[in-house]
Chain A
């Protein structure tokens, strides 16, 4: 079974620029999550999708971050405009709706200069 795929793996941008990350979850996983992991910390949830609907986006900074999962499979996370403090690893995770274990992708490492 293929794991969660994410791209790009690395991205360097300047502040105020825009950036987008892509996630392809494990096949059959209805629930998808985006996490932000700042260096030296544990991952922090940004948004949770169930199929193509948002379950929880209470921790998403909506003035600059947006996410979508239009067809209930792949998802994109966008930052516009980026700030220096957005430098982090952005992790995507997925799970089956009826199970509890979340499986994580390798992450996208973002550096904002």
Chain B
């Protein structure tokens, strides 16, 4: 069956450093991946997405990397700020339905 998101449950990063959050998936037919950020008491917020015909996509301070060979997805956040503290989820979109990973809680150390 389809599954997404073996995440490390927590990640602590010094403010100003780069953060890398990783996600593994098992369904080789996956063709669209999304990263969401969820702050406490809020719903998930779209960050960036990538299709399976790409291996890298950049946004503002964020980069998503896709390695289809090892079925691995990562989110890189440059110059991490206190406002980046949240739980980050990878998700796979199959047939207009999202399957979410388990999430990584990112904590910023001042």
Contact = CB atoms under 8 A, between A and B. Distances in A.
Interface size class of A (residues with CB under 8 A): 20 to 34
Interface stretch (A63-71, A76-84, A95-103): A95-103
Given A44-B100, A104-B45, 20 more contacts: A31-B96, A33-B98, A41-B102, A42-B100, A42-B102, A43-B89, A43-B98, A43-B100, A48-B96, A55-B96, A93-B43, A100-B32, A100-B49, A100-B93, A101-B49, A104-B36, A104-B43, A105-B43, A106-B42, A106-B43
Contacts of A93: 43
Interface of A: 4, 31, 33, 41-45, 48, 55-56, 91, 93, 100-107
Interface of B: 5, 32, 34, 36, 41-46, 49, 89, 91, 93, 96-103
A43 B42 contact: no
Given A41-B102, A42-B100, A45-B98, A101 B46 contact: yes
